[in-house]
Amino acid sequence: MSDQTLPAPAVPTRVEPRRHRHPRAVGGSARDRQTWSRRVHDLLRADIRSGMIARDYQLVEDTLVQRLATSRRAVREALQQLAAEGLVTRVPRRGTRVTRDIVELPLTDIRPLTGTEEFSIRRIDCRVVPSTPLIRKRLRTDAEVVGFVEHFFLQRGEPVGVRAVYHHTSTVQPEAWDYCPSLAFAFEHVFGRPLARIESTIDAVACDQQTSALLGLPVGAPVLVNEQVLVDAAGCAQEFTFTRYRADRVSLSSDTTLGPRPAGRDDRGPVVWAGRALHGAPPTPRGPCE
């Protein structure tokens, strides 16, 4: 026998089973995951609003846990919140399905970004009413009475909003619209001048009894209120409006392009005009516009 040393027999390498790459499996820390149901709810609601998750889509918890890098508890709590908002339906042993969509409305318009053919408007009131100091200030008038018109907004036949408009009595409001026009088109059609600027203030309030009956909401449910002043190209304030939307069915959006900062701008904070958000040029003091 040769004195040459034989090599040691190879030790078989143990092959670990392939694990699913869940964040907890690869990182082990909840710090790397979206464990708060609030954040998961925000992402899912935005998916529904944008159309990335369509109506009738089946939401599977395991898929959501992986896609959102979250916990099963956070997914379940978020789905329960969406169900309470009426956006999804959860059935035991059958899963969760999207049953309603969200109406996304531009802050400076009255009709949605998509699905305009399913969005309708209906006039429910038109009269002359006494003015108040606030109405006179917003419309820049000294008139003791102003015109008033109220419209009802529906998406697929379901009420989503109601808009109250105060205007100068010299304006004649249309009795009806065959379809819901854009705000800019309706404004120029009614007042004969292009819409140049919109001043907006957004509030969240509790639903009152009359709004509850109109929108089909429980009294006390959250409602979005968009208060606006609409100014024409000549600088005349033509409408002072309050639009109430179902907070569970409507989202307000804005696409704003920021220009260069003006010279001498105070960098301690943004420029505001009397505490009101402005869309367009800053306001200039003017006399009454009828």
Least confident of 100-104, 133-137, 161-165: 100-104
Residue 87 · residue 93 · CB < 8 Å: no
- Cα 51 from Cα 216, distance rounded (Å): 24
Total number of domains in the chain = 2
pLDDT of residue 245: 97
Q: Which residue has the higher pLDDT, 4 or 165?
A: 165
Q: Which residue has the higher pLDDT, 271 or 82?
A: 82
Residue 59 · residue 87 · CB < 8 Å: no
103-134 confidence digits (pLDDT tens): 899 999 999 988 888 899 999 999 999 999 99
User: In this structure, is residue 273 part of a structural domain?
Assistant: no
pTM of the model: 0.74
CATH at residue 63: 1.10.10.10
Beta bridge partners of 239: 167, 230
CATH at residue 238: 3.40.1410.10
H/E element holding 79? helix 72-84
Find the length of the chain.
Answer: 290
User: In this structure, is residue 1 part of a structural domain?
Assistant: no
User: In this structure, is residue 276 part of a structural domain?
Assistant: no
Q: Domain range for residue 248?
A: 103-256
Strand order in 119-130's β-sheet? 119-130, 145-155, 158-167, 237-246, 222-232, 195-206, 277-279
Of 54, 73, 98, which one is at a domain's C-terminal end? 98
Residue 204 · residue 250 · CB < 8 Å: no
267-276 confidence digits (pLDDT tens): 555 544 444 5
pLDDT of residue 26: 39
